[in-house]
């Protein structure tokens, strides 16, 4: 067990948990989705991406790819929210569904990341 690996797993799992925390709730109700949670998810996801830089194993490259997908989806989600809510307006239920469903897409990518992490650890044990 190295501190580096702990940090690595911590960041990847944190990206997933924050993402889950954001999307859980009614898709159409903007009050059930916290903007800070989305912001945290983006920041942690970006850090996770950078931490995967330079890993030359096939699993590492796949993890970098899934992480980039998560970043893209989360940033799209945040940008949509920022644009739709400009001038302090609250989101309509349809707009809210768009923002949250983009984040759900990122959730799938983050789940794949964690699965790959588990596979990597399991193959190390063997």
| Member of 36, 57, 124, 125 binding another protein (CB under 8 A) | 36
Q: Does 6 bind another protein (CB under 8 A)?
A: no
DSSP 13-76: HHHHHHHHHHH-S-TT-GGGS-HHHHHHHHHHHHHHHHHHTT--SHHHHHHHHHHHHHHHHHHH
- Two structure tokens written together for 47: 């850090």
Q: Does 46 bind another protein (CB under 8 A)?
A: yes
Q: What's the closest the beta carbon of residue 125 comes to another protein, in angstroms?
A: 25
CA distance 69 to 45: 10
Span interacting with another protein, options 23-31, 83-91, 99-107, 108-116, rule CB under 8 A: 83-91
Q: Does 39 bind another protein (CB under 8 A)?
A: yes
Q: x/- string (CB under 8 A) for another protein, residues 84-123?
A: -xx-x-----------------------------------
CA distance 90 to 71: 24
Residues of the shown chain interacting with another protein in the complex, contacts defined by CB under 8 A = 35-36, 39-40, 43, 46-47, 50-51, 53-54, 56, 78, 82, 85-86, 88
């Amino acid at each position: 067990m190295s501190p580096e690996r702990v940090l690595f797993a911590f960041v990847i799992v944190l990206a997933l948990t924050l993402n889950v925390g954001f999307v859980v709730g009614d898709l159409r109700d903007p009050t059930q989705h916290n903007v800070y949670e989305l912001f945290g998810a983006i920041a942690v996801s970006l850090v996770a991406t950078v931490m995967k830089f330079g890993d030359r194993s096939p699993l590492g490259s796949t993890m970098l790819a899934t992480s980039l997908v998560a970043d893209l989806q989360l940033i799209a989600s945040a940008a949509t929210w920022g644009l739709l809510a400009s001038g302090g307006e609250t989101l309509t239920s349809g707009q809210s569904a768009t923002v949250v469903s983009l984040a759900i897409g990122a959730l799938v990518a983050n789940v794949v990341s964690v699965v790959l992490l588990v596979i990597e650890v399991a193959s190390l044990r063997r």
